[in-house]
Chains A and B, each alone.
Chain A
Amino acid sequence: MKIGVLALQGDFSEHISMLKRIGVETAEVRLPKHLDGLDGLIIPGGESTTIGKLAVAYDLMEPLKEFGKSHAIWGTCAGAIFLSKDIGRDQPLLGLMDIKVQRNAFGRQVDSFETDLEIDELFKATGTENPYHAIFIRGPVIESVSGDAKVLSALEDGRIVAAQQGHLLATSFHPELTSDTRFHEYFISLAS
């Protein structure tokens, strides 16, 4: 099992540390050739505009779309935006997941928050029941899911913050900033 982390910009080293903790081999992806031999890919948190522009500049858009057809991809925050089909503004998107996303949906940095989530699918998959502590940083909200995409978790007010479509995963929050490896384990199960 070898998982790549898109290393154009953002907190890719935090994802790599989490993967190493659960014994997974990792690789940094900056160019199309770095996708060779990978079983899955994580698109980290960061600035989605920056990541999108660098993906276009280094001809990664088509190879990433192709990779996503047959491999697991998980996007956290900026990565979830990048995976989506529609964000209501013009910036490069992979459009792999049938989700509509709103950027910076909770406001500015002073509004960024931590909270506990109930994520049944995750608890079932990992045989655990303690709440998942989620960290949102200028986070997006998944406004709606369509097609095969399904809601994985929502806040108490109903706003969707995690979605899954087959082997594709999107979270508005940052499991890589916690010490809880459950989400990374769940993603590895999708990549297997």
Chain B
Amino acid sequence: MEAKTGTWTEKKGLAQMLKGGVIMDVVNAEQAKIAEEAGACAVMALERVPADIRADGGVARMSDPDMILKIMDAVSIPVMAKCRIGHFVEAQILESIGVDYIDESEVLTPADEEHHILKHNFKVPFVCGCRNIGEALRRIGEGAAMMRTKGEAGTGDVVEAVRHARSVMGSIRQLQTMGDEELMTFAKLNGAPYELVKEVKELGRMPVVNFAAGGVATPADAALMMQLGVDGVFVGSGIFKSGDPAKRAAAIVKSVTHYQDASILAEVSKNLGEAMVGRNAAQMPESERLAGRGW
């Protein structure tokens, strides 16, 4: 048979290879090398980490392709890059330069306030953010091959990531106990495609790999998310906005592997230096919250 590329199995499959791993935000080749050396399973190439996007304000867009290409040259692990919600031309550009995964991300300023990208149109796989099962299944319906909880990026406050992971996991557990005749109403109430609701009930999990993101700053945060049932962790500002990025990055990698072993978690949590300066997500005005972006 002819070799087939860009299939749904291929798209989902790369995310399966990332499981049990940490995906780190990096803004240049040097940081990418530090992340790879620390054991990151992939990097997210972007011009500014979410904490700086918050501080700078203005419109946040796709990064310069040249900067992404330099990061792709610098490391052997997969490289992801972000495009704006609904900005399918940014996605076309990222696909053409060969990034391994595109994050259609609420961290950038949305380009479309009603529609997301039809991700089935691409060969490159996409990851998207979610706050609950309905949002997750809408994105998967559009073709996202990997999900991440949104959390509240650039805060160093894990509370929103916990809220979103608990919401998704709770809904999956709820579906396990539902009768088949209840699924259409569940789909209606959650704004989720019916076929995917059925699939979640049958599988007892999300149809694609589901990571945590948005506010993870310590090894304990990462292990908390893993114990809540996610498949891996994105760390954005938490590493390179901390006092000792290399050490903290390696510690978070270890904490995701040994997330059930408190004695190892204690060991890797020692002497990590300053964590990123946190920002309390609960006291943040609605207008500054990124997680609300996405439809």
Question: Which residues of A approach B to under 8 Å, CB–CB?
Answer: 7-14, 30, 45-47, 49-50, 53-54, 57, 77-78, 89, 103-104, 107-116, 131, 135, 137-138, 174, 177
Contact = CB atoms under 8 A, between A and B. Distances in A.
Most buried by B among A8, A47, A109, A138: A109
B17 A137 contact: yes
A135 B9 contact: yes
B20 A7 contact: yes
B100 A14 contact: no
B6 A110 contact: yes
Nearest to A156: B3
Interface string B172-187: 0000000000000000
Given A47-B77, A109-B78, A13 B19 contact: yes
A110 B17 CA distance: 15
A110 B95 contact: yes
A176 to B, nearest CB: 9
A100 to B, nearest CB: 17
Contact of A9 (B1, B36, B41, B125): B41
A154 to B, nearest CB: 14
A54 B254 contact: yes
B1 A50 contact: no
A110 B5 contact: yes
B101 A50 contact: no
Interface residues of B, number: 42
A111 B3 CA distance: 10
Contacts of B20: 7-10, 12, 46
29 contacts: A7-B20, A7-B257, A10-B20, A45-B17, A46-B18, A46-B20, A47-B42, A47-B78, A50-B40, A50-B77, A77-B17, A78-B17, A108-B99, A108-B100, A109-B10, A109-B99, A109-B100, A110-B6, A110-B98, A112-B5, A112-B13, A113-B3, A113-B5, A114-B3, A114-B4, A115-B4, A135-B10, A137-B17, A177-B16
A14 B10 contact: no
Contacts of B99: 108-109
A9 B13 CA distance: 14
Nearest to B38: A53
